[in-house]
């Protein structure tokens, strides 16, 4: 048995255990995406990076412990690297949560909450299945252009989203969202009028209005 020290928490594990397993045993959570026990252990996503005492960053999912070792799991530096890393991954993801099967059960969405990355709409947490979406029933909901993180409380209790968590800033997501509004027969002016209630003085709202104008203009 070897002693592993993770951020000062000591835990005793079998030699050959990965840092990720040791952390689970110690009750410490390390964000991770790609590792699947017995299936894939390629250390591709690099979200589970931890720091050794020699200052090297190693992936917790693939690094096996054979002797007493100490790791830093959470520090400002690691958080920043994980965050940029996750933003890189998200930048290539086509975010269309309102159409997605996995909403409510999405690893990306929950990780984005954990790492503080913005840009995923409220739809990712919506409890309603796609076919029962409020928008398909003609009820104006701002979920598609609002940052997630509220657990979609309003929708869970039967209401619609009013956008209190602020607008999404990613351009391609906004474009798709406004197109979806138009598809469903909403007037973009109505959407913006509703959005102004919370976002009137938010700088990102100006950008959002520009995108909306472009989507509308492109149709003409």
Partner 1 sequence: MSWTLLDKCCEKCTHSLDNPCPDYIECRVNGPLCHSDKKCKELRKKRLEEIQYGAVGAKIKIPLSSCTLASGAENIYEAVKDYVEKNGLKISISISGCFGLDFLDPWIEFTSKGMPTAIYANVKPKDIPRLIKEYFEEHDVSSAYVLKNKTGKAKGEDKVPLLDELDVWKKQYRWVSRNCGIVNPESLEEYIATGGYRGLSRSLKMSPEQVIDEILKSGLRGRGGAGFPTGIKWRITREQKVTPKYVVANADEGDPGAFMNRLLAESDPFRIIEGLTIAGYAIGANQGYIFVRAEKPLMASRLQKAVEEARKYGLLGKNILGSGFDFDIEVILSAGAFVCGEETALLAAIEGRRAWPRQRPPYPAQKGLWGKPTAINNVETLAHVATIMAEGAEAFASVGTEKTKGTKMFCVTGSVKRPGVYEVPVGTSIRYLVEELAGGAVEGSAIKAVQIGGPSGGCIPASKLDLPLDYETLQSAGAIMGSGGIVVINDKNCMVDVAKFFLTFTSAESCGKCFPCRVGLKILWDILDKITRGQGTEEDLVVLRHVANTVKYASLCALGGTAPNPVLSTLRYFMDEYEAHIKDKTCPAKVCKALITYTINEDKCIACGQCAANCPVNAISKQESGKYSIDVDKCIRCGTCYVVCPVGAVEKHSRGRRRSGGEMKW
Residues that bind partner 1 (CB under 8 A): 42-46, 49, 57-59, 62-64, 80-81, 84-85, 88-89, 91-92
CB nearer partner 1, residue 3 or residue 41? 41
Asked if 3 contacts 12 with a C-beta cutoff of 8 angstroms, the reply is: yes
Instruction: State whether residue 10 is helix, strand or coil.
Output: strand
Which residue, among 171, 205, 149, has the nearest Cα to 95 in the 3D structure?
171
Which residue, among 163, 157, 176, has the nearest Cα to 204 in the 3D structure?
163
| Dihedral angle sign, alpha carbons of residues 182, 123, 97, 113 | positive
Q: What minimum distance in Å lies between the beta carbon of 216 and partner 1?
A: 23
Q: What minimum distance in Å lies between the beta carbon of 83 and partner 1?
A: 9
Q: What minimum distance in Å lies between the beta carbon of 123 and partner 1?
A: 24
Residue 160, burial from CB neighbour count under 10 angstroms (0-12, 13-18, 19+)? middle
Alpha-carbon span 3 to 67, nearest angstrom: 7
Q: What minimum distance in Å lies between the beta carbon of 92 and partner 1?
A: 6
- The values of phi and psi at residue 128, to 5°, are -85, 140
The strand pairing partners of 50, in sequence order, are 58
Q: What minimum distance in Å lies between the beta carbon of 56 and partner 1?
A: 9
Return the number of other C-beta atoms located less than 10 Å from residue 193's C-beta. Answer: 11
Which residue, among 151, 142, 155, has the nearest Cα to 124 in the 3D structure?
151
CB nearer partner 1, residue 58 or residue 150? 58
Q: What minimum distance in Å lies between the beta carbon of 18 and partner 1?
A: 11
CB nearer partner 1, residue 53 or residue 91? 91
Instruction: State whether residue 16 is helix, strand or coil.
Output: coil
CB nearer partner 1, residue 56 or residue 102? 56
CB nearer partner 1, residue 89 or residue 188? 89
CB nearer partner 1, residue 81 or residue 184? 81
The strand pairing partners of 111, in sequence order, are none
């Amino acid at each position: 048995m070897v002693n592993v020290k993770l951020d000062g928490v000591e835990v005793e594990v079998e030699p050959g255990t990965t840092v990720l397993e040791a952390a689970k045993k110690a009750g410490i959570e390390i964000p991770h995406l790609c590792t699947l026990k017995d299936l894939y252990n390629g250390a591709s996503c690099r979200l589970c990076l931890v720091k050794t005492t020699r200052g090297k960053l190693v992936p917790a999912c693939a690094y096996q412990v054979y002797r007493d070792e100490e790791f830093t799991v959470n520090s400002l530096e690691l958080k920043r690297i994980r965050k940029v890393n996750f933003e890189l991954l998200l930048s290539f993801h086509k975010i269309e949560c309102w159409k997605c099967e996995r909403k409510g059960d999405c690893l990306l969405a929950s990780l984005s909450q954990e790492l503080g990355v913005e840009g995923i709409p409220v739809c990712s947490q919506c409890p309603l299945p796609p076919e029962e979406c409020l928008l398909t029933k003609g009820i104006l909901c701002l979920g598609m252009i609002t940052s997630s993180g509220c657990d979609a409380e309003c929708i869970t209790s039967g209401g619609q989203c009013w956008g209190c968590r602020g607008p999404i800033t990613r351009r391609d997501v906004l474009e798709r969202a406004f197109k979806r509004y138009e598809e469903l027969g909403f007037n973009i002016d109505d959407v913006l009028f509703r959005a102004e209630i919370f976002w009137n003085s938010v700088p990102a709202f100006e950008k959002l209005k520009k995108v909306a104008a472009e989507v509308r203009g492109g149709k003409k």
